[in-house]
Structure formats: structure tokens, C-alpha cells
A and B are shown apart, each in its own frame.
Chain A
């Protein structure tokens, strides 16, 4: 049996996917905090991209030997106090911050609540506030890829438009003008909302990266657009898979 049903138990899947691992040898960690919701989805996306997903627990004090990390969406600690504000103090986050800033530049992707945790951790600048419409919003969202040199976007073309689900309450990206100018000048705006800015994000920003391009955060959910029939109805439904194949190519390429 190559796969176990994910709905039952995500951890078991990752544990029992050695033959998948053989494909690339890449190990991508998926972090679970109390209140994380999209971890099983991130595990699935990693697996469908051809890597092995390694479940990571917020209280862990080592990263093991993962080649990249995904911090998935959800409401870690209930978003109490402020989205991501408590999670950033998890023991594992200290390891992730160190690894992301180290010479090895561990690739880190923060999705939705993961993005919020990355800004709270100061791996990425700016912050998220409540959507300008004040309501939770779930929709199929078109994004434009602005930078395909990050570890998580190299399989996309600049200017390419992809559709992935957007679902959040606190998705309005804000930063001071100087920071926004710098992000644009340095090409660190990785994704912009197309057609409709769903939450009032400054300069239509949906996702950004750090200067080195190994850390990427975005509010929309690429892990929910990896399997036709279970994602957006617009487009192929699998337009988020490129995030995971990108990092995989990066890892495999670097290992050559």
C-alpha cells in the first residue's frame, strides 16, 4: 500500500511513504501548532509534489533533517491576542528562524496563519489586519506571480496568473510606505491579487519573500489547489502545486 487515507491520520501517511521518498529524497517538514487546520492539506500537497512530508510539532526542539518547512494555515492558539503572536514563541520557531537565516537558507513557506506567524517572527516584514470587509472570506482567488526566483516559485513564470483558494478573516497585508517601497524595489512582492483586491491589502500584495528568497509567505492557500476536483473551480484546480515542485527542484538541484 503506497498511501493511507489522509483523512484518518496525516502522520501515518508521512511515516509510511518511504517509496515516495525514494523519488527525490527530499523531506519537507509540516508544522502543527495547537489550532493548526491545514496541516493535513500541506502534507498532501508535499506528497503529491513527490517529496516526503515530515510532521513537525510546535514543541519540538529540533528540525530533524528536513530540507524545507511549510507552516500551514489555521487558527493557531485560536488567533487569540493576535494571529500568530503566540505561535512565534514556540520552541520550533526558534529553530526555524535560525535555519532560515543560516548560510544554508532553509526554504520556509508560510501559508495564511503561517504567513502571519512569519511576520510575527520577523522573518518577513509587515503584518496582517482584519479584512477591509470585516468578514471571513472564502473564494477562488486569482494571483499574479511577480517573482519566480524564490525557492517556492521557480516553477512559475513571471506574470503567470494562478487561481488558488483564499480563506481568512485577517488577510489585509499592511506595512509602512518605506517597507512597501523597499519590497517592490527589491522584487520581494512575490504575488499580487488580480482583478479584485479581496481584503484591502496594500498595493494588492498577496505574498512576499525575504531578501534571500528562501522565506515566502502568502495569505491564499496553494495547498488547496493541488488536486483536480478538490480545489478551485476556475482554472485547472492544480495551480498551487508549483510551490511544492519549485522547492523540490531547488532541493534536488542543490543536492546534485
Chain B
């Protein structure tokens, strides 16, 4: 065998064929042919397993399929044993609104009134480092197709981003490319971008995290699943043609760490065409409306390999397809390449014979290309032929579901104790902690101008937040809110959060803190949290330290979901995010979806009305380890803020009730940057300041003014309460036994933020500092 690409072997086929095809028959006859399994990312034991499953050596085409489908990215082989907990730790409360759980393209949650919502967050990290524009763009494209595959109309996207140090020369390359890619693709789809995150940290320098979330809505009867059932039903591939882009992307890129010694992997990144995707969305929705497809699956990682094997595996029989029927952009592609290609904007569907004509009419209307590849059989086998010769003959389950599963060794890192013992307070970096009015005011200004806390509108102004006309709230508010039903105002809220520093200090609690913050953000907006999707970004699972972080994070997250009563309905694991032996901070990005009976009840984060009372909900402890303040001073050590999920739930209920009953006009959660950040953000939101006194906090909680301002104690929020509602609001807090303190009043006249003991801050100066940072580096 001379070729390194799959599917071509020497000396077996006739002259009339375009390629020398490695057939199943040939494979059986030539057991000793050497195959490039290692180049395709398989390990020796995995290749041996393929041979055992098949009872012979795989053909080149089969090898291509197994290699991509058994890659870490597609098979979750390192995380599967741990991810199980999301399915096992489920209470009745968590199940009550779940219509479709983990395992499908995306989970589906019941919204009531016959509506259902599906959402999912995924990573597109490695491609976004190699080629930021296309990597980020196709990340949006892929997650949106997952949502369409469920039968839903996509209605919004979000994009949590984590890049390297803001002043590193390569960060601008990633930033410009990724943001333009997300905008260029998402804006062209007509999907409002309603939120996300932007974190800068040198740990992400060589491994930026580009995660993408999409949410879609549908009527219950429109829910579609990815399975191929019913003998004689037709299998069709439609959308863009299949080209040479992204070949081996899943196996080679996403499942290996970057290493300078290997050649450039640029060709493995897919190229997106948002126009094709937009047409595909509308075309699919028309198919769903006419009930013209029985099963549907998008083509993402592993392309046709994934779609055929998953559809067949989830169905009740088998499938037989002729690979030469696939429409190609590049006629020189080999069978293996066609099976592995990750060309974007493609879908595969199962159509009953009687719907074929109607299906074709929809394709023609939208000028979408399609080709009938084959049909569903009752053999239980996935058979792929090339001009009639069988080149794949497998049990689809062995490809799609029964891949290798590893119990990777893991152990608490030796360095963990030392890191946790290194508290910020009293550290070298803590020297000269600000005190006195002038220093505290300067510290607050420095905080809100810091890379992670600064205004992100340089990014978000490049995204369309209006299209669709249903965006009720978007960044910089705590959650993005989209109306689903114009008649009733029924809608959803979404927030994503993660804190890599907390999770580095304590993976179990760090993951819980990410969930708690997303939950709190959704509740702060006034929505009732309902479901969770997670994107678990970690380093190499082959490193026991990283594997421990992953195991702990999953355990923490699944435990916390039980306490909060909301299930994980889907997500994604992204491993090998490390450069050399240095992994990123463990970064479980958690998305929480909430429900509004009427989005008109949403609570924005900014103050508007003069004289309204500002309350701080929750108590403050001295928790500066892992905080933005310590980060600004270059310290990372100690223990993250304490997790109190019962308090989060109680706080959530107060915020939701207050929103529903009109008791608050504004609410903002306290998280990174603590009370100082929240006060400034609520002031700058609408340019309306406040007069605040924190003495009562200092007295009650026994903390100093600096700590009251910069501590990142969880389970807190600030709210603005109209005078007429104050008694009702405080009675509610008292009745629920939740700590609350009146800390000030909204001041619409002064144009300042006044905090007793801190020099009065002019809002315009604060705004200037807050808004200047991103333009300074990227403008």
C-alpha cells in the first residue's frame, strides 16, 4: 500500500474503476495489508479491536469510519464512564419537563402550551486556533444544524470565548478572526446573538476556547429524532456538496494536542458557507412542516461516517448506500475521504417512498442540491458500496456506539494541596491592598477596565441582536431572553458561565460554581431555570491530573444539578486542550436555560428610576482566592468561594417571584468582580448612578470595605426596588429567611456612583475606563 489516504490500496481493482478500491472481499483475501491506522489517530489496541469486531482487517473505507467515529471527539471514550452520572443522578423533579434527554443531537425540554425548546453548547476550539474565522464560523454552523436536526427552528445563538493574554500578539489574530467568523456566519443566518462570555487568560494562549450555543423552539409534534427506520425508506443527502475540507478534522485535530513538530493542519479545518446554511434551515423547516422526513441527522464531525452509522444504529434495521451517488465538489475524492469529509451545510434524512416527490419539490423550491444514496434495510448491517462493490459492511452500532471506552487513570495532582494552601490574603501579590477613599476608587476603576471585566461591546456590536424581533434582553444583561410565542409572551432565558480559575483551585466545586452562576444569572433575569447544557473544555485525558479534574468536575456538576433540580440535557466534551504538557485551566462552560411565562416580566441589570431602593441579597465573606482582583494582581491560589446550592435556590426563588410580581425593576447577580463590579455595571447600563453605604454589611458580616467590594462570595445579587414595593419585597425575603440589606438608592440626577468610604466616581469617567480596553487592544 502506497497511499496514506484511506480507501486506496494497490493492485486489486480493474482498470475501469476510478480508484483502486479496497473492497470487503479484497480485505478478507488480503489480511496482511498494512493500513495507516496510526496516521488516522487509532491506537494499536483500537485497531486490534476493529479487526476483532469485523473478524477481518477493515477495508480502507471502514478504517476511515472507525478512526473518526472512535476518536475522542466523536466517541467520548475517555469521558463516557464519567458522563454517565448525568443520566444516573436524575430525580423525578428533573425529569418532569424533559422530552428528549442526552444522546440525541440535542435534548428537548417542555415549555408548556405545546411548545418545546432545545439547546446545546459545543466546542470548536482547535479549528478556531488554526483558522479562527472559519473555525468559529463553522462552530456556529454545526451547533445550529444540531438544533435543526431536532425539528426546531433555531432562534438564537451565544458564544462563550476564552482567549490568551489580551496583550499577547497572537491574541489579536484569534480575536479578530473568531469574532468576525461568529458574526459573519451567525449574522447571515438571521439568528440573534444574545450573550456569551469573554475571558482572557494566558492559559488559553495556544488553546483558545470557542464554544457556541444555539437554542431552537418547536411544537411538540415537530420533534424529530436521528434514526433510520422502516425497510425500503430512502436515504438522502442534501445541502452543500461534499469536498475535501475538514478531512480527518475530528480524529486528527480535535483529539490530539498541538505540537510544534508536526506539519501544519490547516487543511483539516472546514470552510463555512452561511448562505447555504440559511437556505438549509428554511428548507428543513419546510420539510418538517410537511412531515416529509422520518429521521434526520446533520453532518458535522465525521461527516457521512457519523450520519450513516448513527442513523442506522438508532434505527430498527440497517442501511445500504451507494457512495458514488454523493455529489462532490472535488471529483478526485477517494471513498475514505468522502466518508470522512467534514464539509459543512449538509444534512442526511430518511424519507418514505411516498414522500419522495414532495421532498424533491421542497429541495427544488429552495434550490438545494440532493442525492438519493440508498435505503433502509432490515439486515442490521450498514453496507456502503462503490459502484456496486461492497466497501463497508459493518454493524453500525460498533461504529457509532460501541467504540472503545477508557477508564483513564486519574489522581489528585500532587501540586493541588500547595495551590490550595497559597491564599491570596497575605500573599506577596496582596501587598499594598487598596484602602482609603482614593485608593478604593482607583481600584474599582482598575477592576472595571481590566480585560475580563471591561465592556465587551466591541465584540457584541459586531453581532446582530435584533433579527427575529423576539430578543427581549441580550448582553450586557445577566441573561439573553428570547420570546417564543408572540401571543402569550412565553419565552426562554439563557446564560453561560465558567470560571477556569475557580475550577483549577477545586474542580469539583469550580464546576458547581459555574452552574450556580449560570443558574443565578437566569433567575436574576426573572426566568425559572429548567435545563443545563455543558461544554467541558479540558486538557489531555491521558494526563492523570487532567483526568482527575475532568472526573471531579463531572461529579460536581452532576451532584449540583440534583440539588438545583435541573437536568443536563446535552453537551460536549473537548479534551486535549493543551500545548505540550501544559493544559488549560479546567473550563467546564455551563449553560442554563430558563423559562418565562411572559418575557415582559424580564428584569434588566441596570437602574433607571431615581429614588428606588437598592438591596443586597445574601451575605459576604472574605473570599478573594481566585477572584478577579487576585487575578489582576497575578495571584492564583487558595480555595474558590464556597458553594451553597440551597442558598442559590432560595435566592433564585426570590428573584423569580420578585420579577413575576413586579417587585423589582432591576437585578444584577454578583460574581466575578464582586459587589464593586455589579454596582458599576448596574450604573453604566443606563447611565444612572446610585448612592450606596456598605456599613451595615461590614457590621453584619464582619468584613472590611475592600472585602465587601471585591470578594466573590456566591449566592448574592443586587436589586432595585420601587418605593411602593419595598415592604412587600422585604417581607418576602424575611419570610424566606434570606439575608437582605438596603444598601442605597438609585440616583438619576448626580451622574455619579457614590459609595461611602470611596471617593465619588463620575459615571462618564467609569464608562470611559470600562469601554476603552477592548478598542485599545483590538480597535
Contact = CB atoms under 8 A, between A and B. Distances in A.
A229 B477 CA distance: 14
A135 interface: yes
B219 interface: yes
Given A41-B469, A78-B188, A78-B274, A6 B463 contact: no
Q: Which interface residue of B273, B464, B487 has the most chain A CB atoms within 10 A?
A: B464
Nearest to A37: B190
A75 B472 contact: no
B27 interface: no
Contact of A75 (B275, B460, B470): B275
A5 to B, nearest CB: 4
A7 B219 contact: no
Interface in A123-139: 135-139
Contacts, number: 108
A230 B278 contact: no
Interface residues of A, number: 38
B217 A224 contact: no
A136 B278 contact: no
B273 A78 contact: yes
Nearest to A39: B190
Interface string B449-472: 000000000001111111111111
A37 B466 contact: no
Nearest to A164: B466
A139 B183 CA distance: 14
B472 A138 contact: no
A76 to B, nearest CB: 9
Contact of A5 (B180, B285, B484): B484
B777 interface: no
B366 interface: yes
Contact of B466 (A9, A35, A80, A165): A165
Given A138-B464, A167-B467, A223-B469, A74 B190 contact: yes
Nearest to B471: A230
Given A35-B275, A44-B469, A7 B155 contact: yes
Contacts of A74: 190
A226 B275 CA distance: 27
B280 to A, nearest CB: 10
Contacts of B468: 7, 40-41
Contacts of B460: 138
Contacts of B469: 6, 40-41, 44, 223-224, 226-227, 230
Interface string A215-235: 000000101101101110100
A5 B485 contact: yes
A165 B217 CA distance: 25
A78 B187 CA distance: 11
B539 interface: no
Given A3-B487, A40-B468, A138-B464, A35 B188 contact: yes
A230 B470 CA distance: 6
B127 interface: no
Contact of B486 (A7, A79, A233): A7
B275 A78 contact: yes
B30 to A, nearest CB: 47
Contacts of B599: 229
Q: What secondary structure prevails in chain B residues at the interface with A?
A: mixed
A112 to B, nearest CB: 10
Contact of A231 (B190, B466, B483): B466
A142 to B, nearest CB: 16
Interface string B694-711: 000000000000000000
Contacts of A223: 469
A38 interface: yes
A159 interface: no
Contact of A34 (B189, B279, B465): B279
A7 B485 contact: yes
Interface string A12-43: 00000000000000000000001101101100
A169 B185 CA distance: 12
Place the interface of chain B in its size category: 35 or more
Interface string B135-158: 000000000000000000101000
Interface string B235-278: 00000000000000000000000000000000000000111101
Contacts of A138: 460-466
Contacts of B278: 34-35, 37, 75, 78
A80 B153 contact: no
Contacts of A195: none
A40 B469 CA distance: 8
A74 B464 CA distance: 11
A11 B469 CA distance: 16
A47 to B, nearest CB: 10
Contacts of B289: 9
Nearest to B458: A135
Contacts of B466: 138, 165, 167, 221, 224, 231
A75 B188 contact: yes
Nearest to A226: B469
B600 interface: yes
B367 interface: yes
A8 B220 CA distance: 12
A5 B487 contact: yes
B471 A7 contact: no
A250 to B, nearest CB: 24
Nearest to B218: A8
A6 B484 CA distance: 8
A41 B467 contact: yes
A6 B217 CA distance: 12
A167 B474 CA distance: 15
Given A7-B153, A7-B155, A75-B274, A34 B486 contact: no
A11 B153 CA distance: 14
A74 B485 CA distance: 23
B594 interface: no
A77 B276 CA distance: 9
B184 interface: yes
B600 to A, nearest CB: 6
A8 B219 contact: yes
Contacts of A4: 487
Interface in A30-64: 34-35, 37-38, 40-41, 44
B695 to A, nearest CB: 34
5 contacts: A8-B217, A38-B467, A77-B275, A138-B464, A138-B466
List 3 A-B pairs, minimum CB-CB distance, nearest first.
A78-B275, A37-B190, A41-B469
Given A7-B468, A135-B462, A224-B467, 4 more contacts: A3-B487, A34-B278, A138-B462, A230-B470
